[in-house]
Structure 1
Amino acid sequence: MKANQFIAKVRENAGANLAPRFLFTLALLTSLSLALFSTPSHAESRAAAVANAELLMQIEQMQQEIKALRNMVEQQENTLSKMQTEQRNRYLDLDQRAQEYAKRILVLEETPLSKPPSQPTAPIKATPPEVSGVNDQQAYNKAYAHVPEQRFEEAIASFQAFIREYPSSRLVGNAYYWLGEIYMAQNRTADAEKMFNAVVSNHPNSFKIADSKYKLGLIYARYGNNNKAKETMESVIAEHPREPAADLARNYLKK
């Protein structure tokens, strides 16, 4: 009798629209109440009620574990989606930049070096000797042609051969830069960092000096070193204000 009165009191206080979690609590209290208020002659019923309460607790625990697993899966899916988006953006950035600078690079690189004013009659320093009938400009163009077509492995091999065969060419810095771009697209971040650092440290007169510094800023951001990334972007803007890389750096700092 006392048990029925207790259950009726709980239901009356709960109301008609109970939340799912309160319903579970109510069921648990009901089972426990049956066990607590039953007479000794109802030992089996009491044991069954306790067993039911334990079962409900186990179900609740399983539901919480399932919810935690779902949250983990959702987080992993979000991380994977972010990585895929970043990878796709790098490919698009590579294609866009390759098309945008292709004409500019070729024009600048094919412009003959002027003779020093103080030595008008002195011959221009010759480019490195040709290998297999191909000069450094032709070898570089051949290697670069693989980049817009995303034939990355062939481009890597060609640029590496170019650096070995024409170590004194004024285009070596550009070759290191494109190796860095390709490694970035392949998520070989450490290798890309080495290539861009090679441009900055060893080829300061390269057409790709500003772009290499910008890419290093992105690499520092990828490492989680946001302060160094910010400093690098600011140096690109300060040292190369008219270069397209400076515009990219400004956009990065606005984020």
Structure 2
Amino acid sequence: MPERRTSLASGFSAGLATGLTALALLLSAFGGQTAQAGVFDDEEARRQIKDLSIKSNERLDTLSKAQFDLINQIQALREENAKLRGQVETLNYELESTKKRQQDFYIDLDGRLRKFEPQSAPATENSPPANAANPGADPAKKTASDPAAEAHEYEAALNLFKANKIKEAAGAFESFVKAHPDSSLTPNAQYWLGNAYYALRDCKQAINAHKAVVNKWPQHPKAPEAMVNMATCQQELGDTKGERSTLQAVIAKYPDSPAAAAAKKRLKK
């Protein structure tokens, strides 16, 4: 009996040891699979992070290049704008210089032509009063002209034109023409009124003003120049036929004038 008990105890111990061993092996195998799964998950995460980092860097490179190109374009536009601004300023300066030279030329021409124009003789102490021949005449209706005052008024209007105060000059010349219709300076004032309208880019009014010079004072030294100015206005209005007709009329009416020589040159172009 004691031997049988010993045998049973030994068998039970051996079985228990075998079971424990099997359980240990099972746990070991399960732990190994878990470890392998953990290692696999970490590598996949690293790979995904790496791929995301590469894509992000590529996007940043693309954005940086686009931003750099945009900056270059903005800089190019700024340089082009500065260049255009400089050209506009240069053109404005040249335009103003041309206008100034043109005005100086007109002033000089006016002075030269006035030397050949008849001047009104100023009143002297020995000159009889304007109403001496007709004592009963109304003095208010027979007021004698004052050449000195007229000349001063005319020069004031001309100085406004020379100072590039064109609108004021036009008003002054128009007032002079209305106030002194019989003055020897009225044809000049009418001529300059046409030039003032031209400077104001009102070619229709300029043509009408110059036409008045030709119609009222056809023998005046400024009549040929007025016709040439009319042709210039017609050219700017696109009236090529009218321009040629006016230039031909200048040559026909005033063949020996400088205006006729200028008209011939323009017709050859």
Same fold by TM (over 0.5)?
Answer: yes
TM-score w.r.t. the length of structure 2 is 0.55
How much is the aligned-residue C-alpha RMSD, in angstroms?
3.9
Q: 1:123: which partner in 2?
A: none
Structure 2: distance between partners of 1:72 and 1:230 = 37
1:158-207 CA deviation, whole Å, 9 max, x = no partner?
654553345466764443113223444xx223243331132234543444
Q: Is the 8 A contact 2:157 2:173 kept in 1?
A: no
Shift of 1:82: 3.1
Amino acid at match of 1:133: A
C-alpha separation between the residues in 2 aligned to 1:60 and 1:156? 51
2:62 paired with 1:50: yes
Contact in 2 for aligned 1:94/1:181 (Cα 8 Å): no
2:257 to 231, 238, 243: 243
2:144 corresponds in structure 1 to 133
Q: 1:165 to 1:48 in 2, by over 3 A?
A: closer
TM-score (normalizing by structure 1):
0.58
The aligned counterpart of 1:31 is none
* Of 77-86 and 245-254, the range deviating more from structure 2: 245-254
Give the letter for the 2:68 counterpart.
L
Match of 2:112 in 1: 100
Following the alignment from structure 1 to structure 2, what is the Cα–Cα distance between the partners of residues 102 and 155? 19
Q: Is the 8 A contact 1:203 1:209 kept in 2?
A: yes
- The CA distance in 2 between the partners of 1:141 and 1:97, in whole Å, is 17
Q: How many angstroms apart in 1 are the aligned matches of 2:115 and 2:267?
A: 28
Show the 5 A alignment for 1:94-243.
94-106=106-118, 132-134=143-145, 141-146=151-156, 150-152=159-161, 159-167=173-181, 172-184=186-198, 187-190=199-202, 191-223=205-237, 228-229=242-243, 231-243=245-257
| Pair 88,221 (structure 1): closer, same or farther in 2 beyond 3 Å | farther
Question: Is the radius of gyration larger for structure 1 or structure 2?
Answer: 2
Specify which structure has the higher proportion of helix. Answer: 2
Residues 207-250 of structure 1: CA deviation (Å, up to 9, x unaligned): 42211111223334455666654553343234312112223434
CA distance 1:87–1:240, change in 2 (3 Å): same
Structure 1: 5+ residue stretches without partners: 1-37, 111-128
Give the number of aligned pairs.
Answer: 195
Change (3 A) 1:157 1:48: closer
CA separation of 1:226 and 1:206: change in aligned 2, threshold 3 A = same
C-alpha distance in 2 between matches for 1:252 and 1:143? 35
Q: Relative to 1, partners in 2 of residues 1:195 and 1:83: Cα closer, same or farther, differing over 3 Å?
A: same
Q: Deviations over 1:23-78 (max 9, x none)?
A: xxxxxxxxxxxxxxx96652232122111111122123213422442343244224
- Classify the secondary structure of the residue corresponding to 2:213: helix
Greater Cα shift, 162-171 or 67-76 = 162-171
Q: Does 1:69 align with 2:74?
A: no
2: distance between equivalents of 1:130 and 1:245? 40
Are 1:60 and 2:65 an aligned pair? no
Distance in 2, matches of 1:228 and 1:60, equals 53
Q: Would you say the 8 A contact 2:113–2:221 is kept in 1?
A: no
